[in-house]
Amino acid sequence: MDVTMNEESHKLLKDMKKFFWIWACIDICVFILIFFLHRGGISPELAPGALRAFGIVLLILTAALCAAAPILVRSLYVSRTLKAKQFKLAEYARLQKNLTTLPMAGALFAGLSYFLLVPKLHLYAAMIAALYGVYSAIPAKKKIRGEINYFKARCT
């Protein structure tokens, strides 16, 4: 690995950490707001059947954004990049932003599940999917450097 690669990956990591923490602050603020709305007794009154339907839909949306979509997006990127034998750091940076945005937005659907007080099975499953998604979105130096090295080696 040359010095330029270290500088590129270091700058990308710094940008991704900033991007991640912006999303994390948004998600945390939403959950805190929902917590205080519940403490104040403000929550929508919906029929149990509607809550079950909302719970299923919100669970599917959370799982899709936090687990399925990042896997699909990453797979498509890897396939396209290796097929073209051309690695561009700008495209990789955009991929990383997408892989952060999807699960962090999915966590908002889990927050909506919490706000609507959907059945516990759907709520807990959505929260687990959201936690998995947020954990997978955390930028790591070793991961980013490893992926850049992998693509550089395979595309030259």
Q: How confident is the model over 8-40, as pLDDT tens digits? A: 788 999 999 999 999 999 999 999 999 999 999
Positions of the chain with pLDDT lower than 70, given as ranges: 1-5
Residue 83 has what pLDDT? 95
Retrieve residue 86's tokens. Answer: 């051309």
Residue 8 has what pLDDT? 78
CA distances from 116 to 65, 105, 121, 125 (A): 19, 17, 13, 15
CA distances from 69 to 14, 17, 28, 51, 55 (A): 24, 21, 22, 25, 19
Backbone φ and ψ for 138, nearest 5 degrees, come out as -65, 120
Residue 5 has what pLDDT? 59
Residue 2 has what pLDDT? 46
Q: Read off the pTM.
A: 0.90
Residue 46 has what pLDDT? 87
Q: Give a three-class secondary structure readout of 68-137.
A: HHHHHHHHHHHHHHHHHCCCCHHHHHHHHHHHHHHHHHHHHHHHHHHHHCCCHHHHHHHHHHHHHHHHHH
Residue 30 has what pLDDT? 97
**How many Å apart are CA 21 and CA 155, to the nearest integer?**
31
Residue 4 has what pLDDT? 54
Please say whether the beta carbons of 111 and 32 come within 8 A: no
